[in-house]
Structure 1
Amino acid sequence: METLQLLLLALLAGIAYGIVQLIRFNNPAKGAPPVLPAKIPFIGHIVSFGVHPRNFLVGVKKQLGGVFTLNMLGNRVTFVADPKLHNDFFQPRNEILSPREPYAFMIPVFGEGVAYGATYPRMREQLNFLAEELSIAKFRNFVPAIQAETRKYIAEHFKGKTGTINLLDHMSALIINTACQCLFGEDLRNKLDAARFSYLLAEMEASLIPAAVFVPWLGYLPTPSAARRNKARNELQEMLSKIVEERKAEEESGENTKAEGRSDMLNGLCNAVYRDGTPMSMHEVCGMIIAAMFAGQHTSTITSTWSLLHLAQSENKEYLQKVLAEHAEFPDTLNYDIVMDQMPYTENVAREAIRRDPPLVILMRKCMQAHKVGDVVVPEGDIIACSPLLNHCDEKYWPEHRKFNPERKFDANAFITFGAGVHRCMGEKFGLLQVKTILFTMLRELEFEAVRPLPEPDYHTMVVGPTRSQSDIKWTRRK
């Protein structure tokens, strides 16, 4: 009986606490951003947001303006929805707007002590190591490898003269193949096929609970998906460790003439040394590779898939012809300078595809101190967010925002798919190199034709791409 009474008291206390928090949320302090009143304690607006985030956020912006606050599972989340205020979100130092707390849900995937699970000084060093491996100097010679992988993939998977494929699935596998070849070296590429790497990443991604963005401890629950995540991460780390050991043995014996001149990401991270003289551990190397692949594989897959799906639509034939005309200026074999400096129209297609449907719905920080945004002050403790999905709908900067138009005027400050400021995506250049090279090589050999209307974005995934079941496309070999 006493236990029942205690449970009842705890329930009543929880309800009372929720009601008090709801009242406090619905009555913001003077000078704070306007709030959308919430009706349900602890739940707030998360359901409306989850059903269709674009429509929901656009509606709230029309009602409340360029800066507003929502209640997400009891958390105050303030959106910077006016592109002219982007600098107030992207420029402040980590000590003012911190990304670690909102992205703590990724720690079980990347690993303790890696990226968001490390101290800021250690995290900065890790990101600097990664940035060095993703520098232009490192990947100037990647284009031939990307083309070779793409042609090999076409030969293996596009049999006959014509057929229908699920483009999203095939682009995912192709992106992983090219990334493994370029970033991790031929030995890793030969030992880890796309299907296995994709499976391991999918197992880790499946453990992510969207609500953990706002309630990070959910990611630490001993669920079956968490067990599969840990098993997948351990398998990848064991595989990388074995390759590193084999490389060291080859270098010591002098058996492999390629070993001495290796400059891939795996080699670079394994040789990285922190300022205090400590080398990166295999646990940290694995975590940084997972972080790089998580970010890059999804974004490049989604960008290339959306690009081809748009170009295959009958209403976009004019854009396709301009892409092909641009490609006709070049030989079958490309180089870095051609891809990055002489294919502006192809790049516009890729950027417009993810301007219209960005892979990330929101970018987040935590206010470590009260922070002024425009005319309002975001309170300390708020999660502050900037949404590419919402801000790319702003008609002032993007007229007819749902229309795919690679010839539209691009406002560099309003386009935030790759972020901005100190946390701008360090893999942007490599991603564009990869996507543009793949698009050129595939369109040189294949024609694509839509078999259904353009897919709807799948907002029920952590990283948003076209709905998989709607991503079929017809291909025909060029004569």
Structure 2
Amino acid sequence: MSLNDTFEKSTTLLKLNELGINIPPWYTSLPLAIQIIVGFVGSVGLIIGLNVLRQLALPRNKSLPPVVFHYIPWFGSAAYYGEDPYKFFFECRDKYGDVFSFILMGRKITVALGPKGNNLSLGGKTSQVRAEDAYTHLTTPVFGKGVVYDCPNEMLMQQKKFIKSGLTTEALQSYPPLIDLECEEFFSHELGLGKEKKSSVKVDLLKTMSELIILTASRTLQGKEVRQGINGKFAQYYEDLDGGFTPLNFMFPNLPLPSYRRRDKAQKAMSDFYMKIIEERKKGETDHELDMIASLQGSVYKDGVPLTDRDISHIMIALLMAGQHTSSATSSWALLHLADRPDILEGLYQEQVKYFGKADGTLGPMTYESIKDLPLMDSVIRETLRMHAPIHSIYRKVISDIPVPPSLAAPSEQSSYIIPKGHFILAAPGVSQMDPRIWQNSKTWTPERWLEEKGVGQAAVESYTKSEQVDYGFGSVSKGTESPYQPFGAGRHRCVGEQFAYTQLSTIIAYIVRHFTMKLEVPSFPETNYRTMIVLPKNPQVSFTLRKQEV
């Protein structure tokens, strides 16, 4: 130690002694590096101790929801919540009631559970809650500026109306044959299944369905030119852009990381890709079908301002990204359950024979109209969405104080709460959808429950589809915010692609059921990965085997 270091150390000790803080001799005899480490550990211990003492000893403000106990300030309950959100929600509900707050990386999050809790957030007024304030930092770098959450809510509602106008009955009727052709091409050429080829193949189901979903969506909703443009370069752009849609990006939107730079580069490249398609169409040199680009061109806001070509490009990216994630997850979970339940798989096949069987033993084509008349198929999709809600947490930023009804307070509380401005309010429809107080055998995949007359499933669908009708700006829709089953969201942010999603999922599952049997290739049913933005299965290995008549 130098003379200067010794002098500074002596001066510091003298000042501490003057403040009444006595430094033990054993500490001063330690090497400087060890002193720094001990001091750091001690400081951390002191901070944690004070945080624990504050929560245990100081009286709580009874007008605010109770806060989940946590050791580390700022970090809060991040590990507890992030590892398994539903375990976190149910355990906290048992301890604190339907409304409680927790700390997440410096953010104050108030959770409101159950149908009434969902309504508090998803049915909230725009003067109280805003989705754009909660999500724009995540979605804008991926989707692009001027659309979705990078614009006022009124504009977003009009954008949803433009999209909904493109999902006409005529357009939806044209999709099943195109999806069927894409499935045939994919399973034959990409997986090598078919006559004079392999009769069985083992796959990573999530990877397989992610590819198939993007191919079928691009051929139908996105348009022929988009489908033709899906090559190695486009796939890389998509992968880089998808890399910007993670929990890390949600919590820390502007880190100087290579993945963030790749995201930004890919966003511009994909936006330019759509711009080129639009420019070619304007020249009249390309032939196109009933796709979303054609529908969006010429759309005008109420104030007379038209959608720009760049706006259309960004909306198309948003449609591609949002639909691909949720449908890939749902189709993967549905097929995993079918591989685990051969009786239901066979039941779906017999349903196809019943409704589409022809005299020569072949099966007729699926149509948009016929999809609505397949009770078991409908039940399989509904049950999958019930158990595996693609998004476990839906956030809103609180912009003015929200009074909480007394019925949502903890049983021990005498009055209602106030969720203060500045908090985030979190809805978790998946909790209601797996609540054992509502659903019998809630953790068991049981499609049959949706076929029960006057059962909980039918009542839930009724409250979701036939509740109070509201026009938020994109056409009249069932509010559905107090239903215990909300597969496509509820309120003003309810998904306008609901009919397309059902059409896509039903057609793909029907194709697979017609041509293959399936088997799980893992010892037990895959666990859930909650460390992604969308709830996905871990290690979803299955095998597809051609049905006998296909060999």
User: TM-score, normalising length from structure 1?
Assistant: 0.87
What amino acid does structure 1 have at the position aligned with 2:487? T
Given candidates 155, 158, 162, the residue that maps to 2:200 is 162
Mapping of residues 197-208 of structure 1, within 5 Å:
197-208=234-245
Helix, strand or coil: the match of 1:103?
helix
Structure 1 residue 209 displacement after superposition = 4.6
Does structure 1 residue 305 correspond to structure 2 residue 343? no
Determine if the alignment matches structure 1 residue 80 to structure 2 residue 150.
Answer: no
Distance in 1 separating the partners of 2:72 and 2:53: 8
Aligned to 1:457: 528
2:324 aligns to what SS in structure 1? helix
| Change in 2 beyond 3 A, CA 1:323/1:454 | same
Q: 1:157-196 counterparts in 2 under 5 A?
A: 157-159=191-193, 160-193=198-231, 196=233
State whether residues 175 and 220 of structure 2, in contact with CA within 8 Å, keep that contact through their aligned partners in structure 1.
Answer: yes
Give 1:419 deviation, angstroms: 1.1
Residues 1:274 and 1:184: Cα distance change in structure 2 (over 3 Å): same
Separation in 2 of the partners of 1:272 and 1:24?
Answer: 54
Pair 1:266 & 2:293 matched:
yes
Residue of structure 1 equivalent to 2:24? none
Check the 8 A contact 2:140/2:150 in 1, yes or no. yes
Choose the corresponding residue for 2:349, options 306, 320, 324.
324
For structure 1, the 5+ residue unaligned runs are: none
Kindly tell me: are residues 206 and 451 of structure 1, through their superposed partners in 2, closer, same or farther at Cα, counting changes over 3 Å? same
Give the distance between the partners of 1:424 and 1:135, measured in 2 at CA.
Answer: 18
CA offsets per residue over residues 395-439 of structure 1, 9 Å max, x none? 011222221101124223111232112211111211111000111
Measured after TM superposition, the shift of residue 137 of structure 1 is 4.8
Residue 227 (1) aligns with residue 258 (2): no
Shift in Å, 1:35: 1.9
Q: Which shows bigger deviation, 129-138 or 179-188?
A: 129-138
Deviation track 1:293-313 (CA, whole Å, cap 9, x = no partner) reads 222111111111111110111
Asked if the contact 2:205/2:540 (under 8 Å) is kept, the reply is no
Q: Which has the larger radius of gyration?
A: 2
Aligned to 2:537, the other structure's residue is in SS state coil
Distance 1:32 1:307, change over 3 A: same
Task: From the superposition, tell whether residues 22 and 291 of structure 1 become closer, same or farther in structure 2 (CA, over 3 Å).
Answer: farther
Q: What is the CA–CA distance in structure 1 between the aligned matches of 2:155 and 2:537, rounded to whole Å? A: 36
2:411 alignment counterpart:
none
In structure 1, C-alpha distance between the alignment counterparts of 2:162 and 2:124, rounded to whole Å: 22
CA offsets 1:61-111 (integer angstroms, 9 cap, x no match): 111121111111122211111224432222222222210111122221122
Alignment-mate amino acid for residue 56 of structure 1 = F
Name the SS for the 2:283 alignment partner. Answer: helix
**2:51–2:71 contact (8 Å) kept in structure 1:** no
Which segments of 5 or more consecutive residues in structure 2 lack a partner in the other structure? Answer: 6-11, 13-38, 357-362, 407-415, 450-455, 462-482
Aligned to 1:280: 307
Instruction: Establish whether residue 348 from structure 1 lines up as the match of residue 379 from structure 2.
Output: yes
**CA distance in structure 1 between the partners assigned to 2:428 and 2:169 by the alignment:** 28
In the alignment, the residues of structure 1 paired with residue 249 and residue 173 of structure 2 have an alpha-carbon distance, to the nearest angstrom, of 39
TM-score (norm 2): 0.77
Among candidates 420, 433, 454, match of residue 392 of structure 1: 433
Q: 2:279 aligns with which of 242, 245, 249?
A: 245
How many angstroms apart in 2 are the aligned matches of 1:285 and 1:140?
A: 24
Alignment-mate amino acid for residue 395 of structure 1: P
Task: Please report how far the alpha carbon of residue 244 of structure 1 lies from its aligned counterpart in structure 2 after TM superposition.
Answer: 1.5
Offset, 1:142: 1.2
Contact 2:330-2:388 at 8 Å conserved across structures: no
Measured against aligned partners, the alpha-carbon deviations of 1:216-239 in whole angstroms (never above 9, x if no partner) come to xx2123321111011111111221
Alignment of 1:21-40 (within 5 A): 23=54, 28-40=60-72
User: 1:127-138, aligned counterparts within 5 Å?
Assistant: 127-138=160-171
1:346-425 → structure 2 map (5 Å cutoff): 346-375=377-406, 376=416, 377-408=418-449, 409-410=456-457, 411-412=460-461, 413-425=483-495
Kindly tell me: are residues 86 and 462 of structure 1, through their superposed partners in 2, closer, same or farther at Cα, counting changes over 3 Å? Answer: closer
What's the counterpart of residue 367 of structure 2?
A: 335
Q: Name whichever of 390-399 and 64-73 sits farther off.
A: 390-399
In 2, the alpha carbon distance for the partners of 1:187 and 1:51 equals 41
Tell me: CA distance 1:24–1:424, structure 2 relative to 1, closer, same or farther (3 Å): farther
The CA deviation at 1:456 is 0.8
Question: How many Å apart are 1:20 and its aligned residue?
Answer: 8.5
- Could you tell me how far apart the structure 1 residues matched to 2:537 and 2:236 are? 19
- Residues 87-98 of structure 1 aligned to structure 2 (within 5 Å): 87-98=119-130
Output the aligned Cα RMSD: 2.8
Q: Which whole-Å CA distance do the structure 1 matches of 2:116 and 2:487 have between them?
A: 16
The equivalent of 2:541 in structure 1 is 471
Distance 1:439-1:209 versus aligned 2 partners, 3 A rule: closer
CA distance, structure 1, for counterparts of residue 96 and residue 427 of structure 2: 15
Q: Which amino acid aligns with 1:345?
A: L
| Structure 1 residue 196: Cα displacement | 5.0
Deviations along 1:285-340, one digit per CA (max 9) or x if unpaired, are 22211211222111111111111110111xx233223222211121431111101x
How far apart are the structure 2 equivalents of 1:222 and 1:21?
34
User: What fraction of aligned residue pairs are identical, expressed as a percent?
Assistant: 29
The residue identity in structure 1 corresponding to 2:337 is H
Partner of 2:155: helix, strand, or coil?
Answer: helix
2:464 aligned residue: none
Find the residue that maps to 2:109 and give its secondary structure: strand
